[in-house]
């Protein structure tokens, strides 16, 4: 087969990179981490006409400026792997925005294959592009039209990769910018350059552009060369005096002007959806529509979930009766009351989790969630977060762990820390299970309203905490975010079902491992040495002086304690501690149920979230303990205040 060639798939987020990767590699994939970090690295192999290729899926990035972890990883790979074939995957519907990254690749001395993806959608919406003229205006770079979803153009892309040969390609900007770059290049040639292995061979013109953009890694590279930095600073200041604004913005403007110049007369854009976006992104109408969408989502999720729950409940009841007949008497208790009732009480609410994940994935696939991010970015900035924080928050509704990991897209370090600290307050799918359990048990006629109320209170508190953290603890001005609004798309049911399965599979795995082990553990705590004087009572009684202030007895305290292992354990432990759902209804008032739910959503996240938070803060004990401490304090204070106000208002 000869030498194995490396192919790197580059591109901005939401351009269909993963779909193209899957089509090229099939099932020959492996998932690991990039060296030294926890960012996922996907690699696969492709054999085409006797030639083997190693396909690498680079992180999606809007830019190659090294001011975020994902961007740095992508750029480092491109710089260090000079012989790699770069495939620049572009969303044809957003060609003008996506070509920004293409120009940066060319500045870096690379000649990528241009892959115009989603060509089926573009044609459906009346968007056309002359690929031959585009190739000519990009210096002869190969251009291939594809649709990963419908397998259009995949063979053409493979053929282009097979026959790829690098070609010299250069992009020229305005006379003013080019003259400035020439001055910096002249200075670079007069000084000895750093011997950093990674940057050997990069074009001096690219280094000059990086100086104008204040690229943090390039500035760090030259920090010992003070004379050169002083001369470059003078050149920058001269340019800024002439422009009357900063050089970073100027370079970006020049790239977009060049993109417009390249696309003139060869790309026809359809603006049919602009009016829709004006409504969805409107500060008033957009918020109203968002509230309606969320209410309908919760109503549909709970309505469909209720239909499935009865069947699952009947199954576990039958399983418990059957197990009690065949399991030896010494083990009947732990098997029936511990394992089957414990795990069953969690799995009963699996439909809620599945339908919620399905709904969020559907909204994401349709293109709405990105618009929600844009809608809320001003609010986020006022809260002391970045507009880019919206995406991790939305992801955290599924699970806090991937939400915390998604903060890597935030380039502003201070805003990233702020976001990391508040994400554990976002009600994840496991906490949603507790919400739906309490809603169905105590507020049957107002299930959706109860769920919306708990979530709304939590998000209000998240906003207040974010403001305090941003203003007094992690200070700094947030950066202005860039939002790429994808076109509205008809649902890709195959993608939606796969993503839903990925999210819900994690829940099922926990049910078979952590929740199973936890159910057994808390069964023994509640029934040994005797049911009347068990170890669980001793532990619960230690916590009861505090939890009684919010109307929660030792059994509820023990259920809250189990939630530190996994929030899914709260329902199963509660069911065992109170002796079944009917006893829970008899033991708690609606006010106590409301407070218990609110506290469960707010207090310490599960161990997996704490571990991920520790890792993503750079293994900072300080920030991890701070997050855990304020979560616990906030939940306790809110629980006490809400319970006592409720009593004063006559809801006891």
Q: What is the pLDDT, as a whole number, of residue 28?
A: 52
Round the CA-based radius of gyration of the chain to a whole number and report it: 28
Q: Is 486 annotated as a binding-site member?
A: no
- 60 marked as binding residue: yes
Greatest pairwise CA separation for the chain in angstroms? 89
CA distances (Å), origin 563, targets 381, 423, 607: 32, 17, 9
Q: Are 228 and 211 in contact (CB under 8 A)?
A: no
| Mean pLDDT in order along the chain per 10 residues (652 residues) | 86 87 75 46 88 92 81 90 95 90 96 95 84 94 92 95 93 94 92 72 92 90 88 93 88 93 82 72 88 84 82 86 85 79 71 80 81 79 76 78 73 82 89 89 86 90 90 68 67 80 72 71 79 84 93 92 82 85 91 95 83 82 93 95 92 70
Residue 40 has what pLDDT?
60
- Establish whether the linkage from the previous residue to 529 is cis, with ω within 30° of 0: yes
d(CA 492, CA 120): 13
**102 annotated binding-site participant:** no
Residue-level length of the chain: 652
Cα-to-chain-centroid distance, residue 332 = 43
Alpha helices by DSSP H, 214-284: 216-221, 226-243, 247-263, 274-280
Query: Binding site annotation covers 11?
Result: yes
15 in a labelled binding site: yes
- Distance between terminal CA atoms of the chain? 77
**SS3 assignment for 82-100:** CCCEEEEEEEHHHHHHHHH
Is 119 labelled a binding residue? yes
Ligand-binding annotation for 120, yes or no, is: yes
275 labeled binding residue: no
| Helices of type H across 383-446 | 390-396, 400-405, 413-422, 429-442
Q: Angle 149-153-158 (CA atoms, 0-180°, nearest 5)?
A: 110
**Domains of the chain from N-terminus onward:** 5-163 (3.40.50.300), 175-269 (1.10.287.1770), 283-455+473-510 (no CATH), 512-649 (no CATH)
- The verdict on whether residue 91 carries a ligand-binding annotation is no
Q: Residue 22 annotated as binding?
A: yes
User: Residue 429, Cβ neighbours under 10 Å: how many?
Assistant: 25
Is 117 annotated among the ligand-binding residues?
A: yes
- Residue partners of 447: CB distance under 8 A and separation at least 6: 302, 436, 439, 440
16 is in an annotated binding site: yes
Contacts of 311 (CB under 8 A, 6+ apart): none
pTM assigned to the model: 0.64
d(CA 3, CA 1): 7
Contacts of 83 (CB under 8 A, 6+ apart): 5, 6
Ligand-binding annotation for 29, yes or no, is no
| CB of 467 closer than 8 Å to CB of 383 | yes
The reply to whether 541 sits in an annotated binding site is no
Secondary structure (DSSP) of 133-160: HHHHHTTS--EEE-BTTTTBTHHHHHHH
Supply φ then ψ for residue 41, to 5 degrees.
-120, 120
Count other C-beta atoms under 10 Å from residue 227's C-beta: 10
Confidence at residue 29, expressed as pLDDT on a 0 to 100 scale: 53
Residue 70 annotated as binding? no
How does DSSP assign 164-232, residue by residue? -----------HHHHHHHHHHHHHHHHSPPP--GGGTT--HHHHHHHHHTT-HHHHHHTTT-HHHHHHH
Q: How far apart are CA 41 and CA 34, in angstroms?
A: 5
Say whether 98 counts as a known binding-site residue.
no
Q: Cβ distance 293 to 280 under 8 Å?
A: no
270 annotated ligand binder: no
- Is 634 in contact with 604 (CB distance < 8 Å)? no
Asked if residue 306 belongs to a known ligand binding site, the reply is no
């Amino acid at each position: 087969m000869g030498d194995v060639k490396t192919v790197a798939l580059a591109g901005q987020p939401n351009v269909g990179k993963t779909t193209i990767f899957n089509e090229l590699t099939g099932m020959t994939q492996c998932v690991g981490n990039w060296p030294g970090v926890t960012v996922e690295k996907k690699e696969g192999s492709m054999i085409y006409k006797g030639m083997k290729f190693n396909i690498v899926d680079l992180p999606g990035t809007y830019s190659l400026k090294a001011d975020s972890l994902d961007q740095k990883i992508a750029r480092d790979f491109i710089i260090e792997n000079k012989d790699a074939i770069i495939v620049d995957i572009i969303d044809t519907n957003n060609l003008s925005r996506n070509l920004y990254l293409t120009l940066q690749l060319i500045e870096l001395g690379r000649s990528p294959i241009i892959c115009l993806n989603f060509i089926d959608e573009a044609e459906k919406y009346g968007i056309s592009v002359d690929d031959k003229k585009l190739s000519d205006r990009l210096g002869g770079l190969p251009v291939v039209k594809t649709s990963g979803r419908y397998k259009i153009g995949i063979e053409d892309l493979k053929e282009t990769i097979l026959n790829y040969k690098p070609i010299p390609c250069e992009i020229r900007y305005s006379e003013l910018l080019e003259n400035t770059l020439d001055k910096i290049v002249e200075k670079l040639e007069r000084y000895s350059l750093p011997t950093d292995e990674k940057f050997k061979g990069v074009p001096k013109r690219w280094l000059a552009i990086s100086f104008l953009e204040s690229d943090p890694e390039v500035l760090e590279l030259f920090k010992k060369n003070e004379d050169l930095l002083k001369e470059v600073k003078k050149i920058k200041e001269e340019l800024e005096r002439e422009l009357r604004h900063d050089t970073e913005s100027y370079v970006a403007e020049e790239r977009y002007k060049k993109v417009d110049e390249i696309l003139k007369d060869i790309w026809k854009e359809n603006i049919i959806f602009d009016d829709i976006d004006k409504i969805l992104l409107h500060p008033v109408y957009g918020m109203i529509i968002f509230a309606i969408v969320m209410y309908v989502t919760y109503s549909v999720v709970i309505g469909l979930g209720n239909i499935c729950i009865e069947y699952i409940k009947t199954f576990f009841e039958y399983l418990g009766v059957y197990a009690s007949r065949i399991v030896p008497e010494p083990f009947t208790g732990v098997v029936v009351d511990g394992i089957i009732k414990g795990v069953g009480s969690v799995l009963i609410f699996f439909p809620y989790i599945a339908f919620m994940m399905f709904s969020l994935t559907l909204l994401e696939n349709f293109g709405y969630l990105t618009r929600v991010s844009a809608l809320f970015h001003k609010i986020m900035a006022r809260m002391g977060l970045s507009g880019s924080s919206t995406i991790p928050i939305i992801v955290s509704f599924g699970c806090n762990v991937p939400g915390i990991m998604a903060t890597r897209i935030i380039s502003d370090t201070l805003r990233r820390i702020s976001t990391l600290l508040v994400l554990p307050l976002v009600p994840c799918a496991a906490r949603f299970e507790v919400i739906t359990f309490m809603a169905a048990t105590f507020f049957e006629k107002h299930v959706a309203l109860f769920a919306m109320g708990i979530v709304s209170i939590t998000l209000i508190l998240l906003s207040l905490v974010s403001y305090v953290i941003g203003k007094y603890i992690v200070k700094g001005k947030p950066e202005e975010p860039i939002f790429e609004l994808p076109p509205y798309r008809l649902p890709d049911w195959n993608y939606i079902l796969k993503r839903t399965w990925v999210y819900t599979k994690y829940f099922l795995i926990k049910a078979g491992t952590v929740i199973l082990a936890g159910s057994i553990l808390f069964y023994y705590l509640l029934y040994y040495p005797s049911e009347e004087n068990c170890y669980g009572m001793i532990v619960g009684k230690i916590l009861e002086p505090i939890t009684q202030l919010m109307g929660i007895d030792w059994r509820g305290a023990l259920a809250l304690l189990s939630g530190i292992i996994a929030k899914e354990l709260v329902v199963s432990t509660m069911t065992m501690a109170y002796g079944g759902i009917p006893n829970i209804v008899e033991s708690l008032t609606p006010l106590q149920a409301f407070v218990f739910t609110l506290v469960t959503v707010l207090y310490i996240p599960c161990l997996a979230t704490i571990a991920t938070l520790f890792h993503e803060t750079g293994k900072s004990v300080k920030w991890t303990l701070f997050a855990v401490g304020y979560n616990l304090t906030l939940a306790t204070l809110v629980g006490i205040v809400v319970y006592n106000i409720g009593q004063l208002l006559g809801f006891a």
